[in-house]
Structure 1
Amino acid sequence: MPTAVFPPTRPFPRRAFAILVTLYFLGNLAGIPLLRRTHAPIEPVWFWGVATLISAGVIAVSLLLAARISLGAPWLEGRLAKEALPHWLRRGLALTGLLLVVALPISLLANLNVDARTYPLGWELLPASFKAGVVEEVGYRLLLVSLLAWLGGLHWRDENGRPTRAVYWTAVLIAGLLFGWAHVDARLGNPAAAFWDYALIMALNSALGIYFGWLLWRLGLEWAILAHFAFDAAVSLVLIPVYLAESPVAWGVLVASLLIVLVVSGRYLVRSKVGV
């Protein structure tokens, strides 16, 4: 599968930097409605200013590292050729659709014990999904994958001077496993959870993290963010509400929709010969 091609060296992507810092700031703000809904503590105003300054530094370093190893955000950086944009968009949509078809049923298993009395059904889950997509992908993918791949590339390079495929895969796997563990750690305070609950959460989120890392590598940060957002929104706003509603009609619509997505996405991906 063709990837976004960057020159060996390129100037600092100011536009991408400004957009990502703005998205990061808005992403943090987007989590506030859900915090209010669940009566969770909300940080003071000064915290958001400090967090934005720190995130700006993190994003700047991440973009500099990514530029050295052919990673980054090709569309935001203006590096994606105009004639390649339609194929890039279709490929990203197809891969996101495939993610939903495969991961939603597994996610259902991880949420069988969800309590309808405490689950925060409402529009607040949508901006919270946006926050997760932006904040976590900047941290785990743009920063961590780029840093690990850059470090590995200091020792293992291909004929073009870039990190080898093994280095990229190692970076993606490590970041994915750390992403999975972070989501398990968030549930360790539940004494009623069994070992298999933790194992399933770890496996699911690690696989998701690896997939998002692969999207960063093959398509760019934009699709890692969009796929993450789409998955979180689909789980919180569609899958769990359908499960709690216990409506055969709702289940039928959901299953039919996933089958259509599977056929359309699978057909396109097979024809476009997506590789790893």
Structure 2
Amino acid sequence: MPAHPPVSGPHLKLAALLGLAGALATLALMPYAMVLMPQQFAAAPLPLPVIVLQAVVETGVLCWLLGWLGLRLGAPYGLDAPWLRAWVYRRPRDPAWHSRWWLAGLLGVAAALLVAGLSLLGPQASAGHAHVAIPAWRGALASFYGGTVEEILMRLLPISALIWLLARGNRRVARPWMFVLAIVLAALLFGIGHLPAAHAAGQLGTPLLIARIVLLNAMVGVACGGLFWKYGLEHAMLAHFCADLVLHVALPLTGPA
């Protein structure tokens, strides 16, 4: 049984809002990305404004189209963005949907602190791949990308698609174990999705380092996936945003200079 009743109705306008949010979040990410991957930007054959515009447009369109697909596949099983839907379509929110904004924020902060603590254990990056110090304001801007683009592409779409596929083999009925499996698989995919950026930043080394990056990011993914299932996409977005604020703003400000 889904955590909430199935959702019917249009999705294109809501997906367009997700696309706009994704485009703006990508624009906000650029100051962070330019410090994290300076060589890639320096070696790019196009002028910086063109690179930024291309990334913003491409990500916005991707979030719009794949967000629509995720809503279309997941909404019949209660996987939706109910608060944004009510606002976009000027409809009263279904009373069956409950909010736990405080829980989303708390889980995001807790997951980030757990990741930060566990990252101190085990193998560390070599001295030649030292961690890049990024100003907190750039980290704050980058947090919008995680809370929007990554939740649309790495949570809304894969979980909805997996539930749709699993339910088709069960007379279109989604069982709780299907949601759990989809959340875990999407979380692992989310962790793997961080490897290209880590490689570009020179943070990959041994297989243990790779596994740690995947598993630590997957921990955040499981927390956000559970919130998406139980309370809607907006709760997952808030949790992810809070986690990134801790990892990219709070901890750098409190850590050694």
- Both structures adopt the same fold (TM-score exceeding 0.5): yes
Alignment of 1:56-71 (within 5 A): 56-71=64-79
Structure 1 Cα separation of the partners of residues 168 and 123 of structure 2? 42
CA offsets per residue over residues 161-220 of structure 1, 9 Å max, x none? 531111111111111111112223443464873443223222211222122111111111
Q: Which amino acid aligns with 1:227?
A: A
In structure 1, what is the equivalent of residue 56 of structure 2?
48
* Shift, 1:143, TM fit: 0.5
2:23 aligned residue (14, 22, 25): 25
> Structure 1 stretch 30-39 or stretch 161-170: which is displaced more?
30-39
Structure 1 Cα separation of the partners of residues 248 and 192 of structure 2? 20
Q: Which amino acid aligns with 1:172?
A: I
Structure 2 Cα separation of the partners of residues 50 and 204 of structure 1? 28
In structure 1, what is the equivalent of residue 44 of structure 2?
none
Q: Does 1:162 align with 2:163?
A: no
Distance 1:140 1:206, change over 3 A: same
CA offsets per residue over residues 31-64 of structure 1, 9 Å max, x none? 1222344545252535533443333211111111
Q: Does 1:152 align with 2:166?
A: yes
Q: Does 1:142 align with 2:156?
A: yes
Structure 1 Cα separation of the partners of residues 60 and 175 of structure 2? 34
In structure 2, what is the equivalent of residue 237 of structure 1?
249
Structure 2 Cα separation of the partners of residues 14 and 21 of structure 1? 10
* Shift, 1:73, TM fit: 0.9
2:81 aligned residue (69, 73, 85): 73
* Shift, 1:226, TM fit: 1.2
C-alpha contact 2:32 2:142 (8 A) present in aligned 1: yes
2:191 aligned residue (164, 167, 180): 180
C-alpha contact 1:172 1:214 (8 A) present in aligned 2: yes
C-alpha contact 1:129 1:229 (8 A) present in aligned 2: yes
In structure 2, what is the equivalent of residue 251 of structure 1?
none
CA RMSD of aligned residues (A): 3.1
C-alpha contact 1:180 1:206 (8 A) present in aligned 2: yes
Distance 1:10 1:191, change over 3 A: closer
C-alpha contact 1:156 1:167 (8 A) present in aligned 2: no
Structure 1 Cα separation of the partners of residues 157 and 239 of structure 2? 18
CA offsets per residue over residues 217-270 of structure 1, 9 Å max, x none? 11111111111111112111121332324xxxxxxxxxxxxxxxxxxxxxxxxx
In structure 2, what is the equivalent of residue 216 of structure 1?
228
CA offsets per residue over residues 70-108 of structure 1, 9 Å max, x none? 1011211226456976x5333333433443453342245
Distance 1:106 1:45, change over 3 A: same
In structure 1, what is the equivalent of residue 45 of structure 2?
none
Distance 1:115 1:66, change over 3 A: same
> Structure 1 stretch 52-61 or stretch 90-99: which is displaced more?
90-99
* Secondary structure at the counterpart of residue 223 of structure 1: helix
* Shift, 1:136, TM fit: 0.8
Alignment of 1:5-16 (within 5 A): 5-6=4-5, 8-13=6-11, 16=14
C-alpha contact 1:149 1:167 (8 A) present in aligned 2: yes
Distance 1:153 1:194, change over 3 A: same
C-alpha contact 1:70 1:162 (8 A) present in aligned 2: no
Distance 1:234 1:60, change over 3 A: same
